[in-house]
Amino acid sequence: MNFQPSILFSILLSIAAPFIGMLILGFDRKITARMQNRVGPPILQPFYDVVKLFGKSELMVKKAQILFALMFVGTLLLSTVLLCFGGDLLVIFFLISTGMIFYTLGAYSVKSGFSFIGGNRELYQMLAYEPIFMLTVFSVGLITKSFRVDQIFGLEVPLVAIIPLPLVSMMIVFLIKMQKSPFDISTAHTEIISGPMIEYSGGYLALLKIAHWYEIFLVIGIMSLFFVVPGNPVLTVVSMAAAGLAIYFVSIIIDNVTARVHWNTMLRLSAAIGITLIVVNVAIVYIVAYIAGGA
């Protein structure tokens, strides 16, 4: 434990988190536009969108929706802060899941067909990515012998050198969370018109957008934990940022070369690829340790 992020750094990071997510989203839209040979919106477009939404009048179908939107943002905010302060990965994971439950409840709380199907699909998505996410957290825990984020900084080698395959599986989680093809099924705008978000408007829709910024930061943050270089703070920051951006770039590419699949295809793919990869990798780590120990 020769590197402890300072308190000040953690506070700054948790304040900057949504804006980092926002900037990444802005670059995403720009790069996607360039890949499609378009001009694309300004980098700050997600920010302008949210500012504009806050200026709009709100038309909510049910009061309960507001509560669920606030809870959703609240839990994500909490887990972001936990991540920035090096908290427990397991708690972070459960907080994110709770947030998604609130999001789904918000979708279910209104009487709209598209919102209802969106809620259903959100649950299917959770069914697809939660096992991968949890197993990844577990495999990190097995390696570091703890679920605390700051333990990762105390390892001898970067996590990616020991367990690279869960990172590949996490890519599936990432695609689902970022609402990218082939797994953008819950917000599929040509099928169910943004599903769970359809009955939100004005400031509360803006809240959901901000929650999405948090999500981006959280998932990229957790994935780039694999690239912590122990004992070298500067290199750690550089490699984490580079890894985060690289992961995002890969997801943009995948988004641009695939079509959206059915929810059952998604479940099958995530179970077959995601879970197998993690299990194989953990098994290899143990076998290697056994052989090394036996020899």
Partner 1 sequence: MVKSTITFGPQHPVFPEPIQFILKVVDEKVVLAEPQIGYVHRGIEKAFELNDPKDNIFLAERICGICPAPHTTAYVRGVESLMGIEAPPRAKYIRTIMNELNRIHSHILWAGLLGDAIGFESYFMQTWNYREKVLDAIEKISGHRVTYAMNAIGGVRRDMTNEQLRGLEKTMDYVESSLENIEDVMKDYTIKKRTQGIGILTEEEARRDGAVGPTARASGISQDLRTSGYDAYGDLKFEPVVVNNCDSYGRFAVRWQELKQSIDLIRQCIVKMPSGEILTKSNNPMNGEAISRVEAPRGELFYYIKGNGSKKLERVKVRTPTFANIIPTVTMLSKGCQVADVSVIVLSMDPCISCTER
Partner 2 sequence: MPGMLKIIFGNLFKKRATRLYPFEKRAPFENARGSMDFAHMENCIFCNLCAKNCPPKAITVDRANKRNALDPLRCIQCGVCAEACPKKVIEMRGQYNEPCYAKRTHVAAQVVKCAQTPPEQK
Which span sits near partner 1 by CB under 8 A: 94-102, 186-194, 197-205, 231-239?
186-194
Instruction: Pick one of 67, 70, 155, 193: the residue that binds partner 1 (CB under 8 A).
Output: 193
Which span sits near partner 1 by CB under 8 A: 16-24, 115-123, 150-158, 162-170?
115-123
Longest dimension (CA), the chain: 70
Q: What's the chain's length in residues?
A: 295
Count of residues that interact with partner 2, criterion CB under 8 A = 11
Residue among 259 and 295 whose Cβ is closer to partner 1: 259
Q: How far apart are CA 213 and CA 235, in angstroms?
A: 25
Cis peptide before 42 (omega within 30 of 0): no
Find how far residue 173's CA is from the centre of its chain: 7
Which span sits near partner 2 by CB under 8 A: 78-86, 188-196, 254-262, 269-277?
254-262
**Could you say which of partner 2, partner 1, none residue 181 binds, taking C-beta under 5 to 8 angstroms by partner kind?**
partner 1
Q: How far apart are CA 242 and CA 258, in angstroms?
A: 25
Instruction: Pick one of 14, 23, 29, 32: the residue that binds partner 1 (CB under 8 A).
Output: 32
Is residue 67 classed exposed, middle or buried when 0-12, 13-18 and 19+ CB atoms within 10 A define those classes? Answer: middle
**Could you say which of partner 2, partner 1, none residue 34 binds, taking C-beta under 5 to 8 angstroms by partner kind?**
partner 2
Contact flag: residue 245 with partner 2 (CB under 8 A): no
Count of residues that interact with partner 1, criterion CB under 8 A = 30
Fill in the DSSP letter of residue 23.
Answer: H
Contact flag: residue 261 with partner 2 (CB under 8 A): no
Instruction: Pick one of 39, 57, 190, 294: the residue that binds partner 1 (CB under 8 A).
Output: 190
Q: How far apart are CA 81 and CA 86, in angstroms?
A: 9
Contact flag: residue 256 with partner 2 (CB under 8 A): yes
**Could you say which of partner 1, partner 2, none residue 88 binds, taking C-beta under 5 to 8 angstroms by partner kind?**
none
Subset of 244-273 contacting partner 1 (CB under 8 A): 255-263, 265
Shortest distance, CB of residue 39 to partner 2, whole angstroms? Answer: 5
Q: How far apart are CA 161 and CA 233, in angstroms?
A: 18
Contact flag: residue 90 with partner 2 (CB under 8 A): no
Contact flag: residue 2 with partner 2 (CB under 8 A): no
Structure tokens belonging to residue 229: 């270089």
Which of 174, 208, 207, 182 has the alpha carbon at shortest distance from 194?
208
Contact flag: residue 249 with partner 2 (CB under 8 A): no
Residue for token digits 């679920």?
147
Shortest distance, CB of residue 259 to partner 2, whole angstroms? Answer: 10
- Give ∠ CA 26-187-269 in degrees, rounded to 5: 100
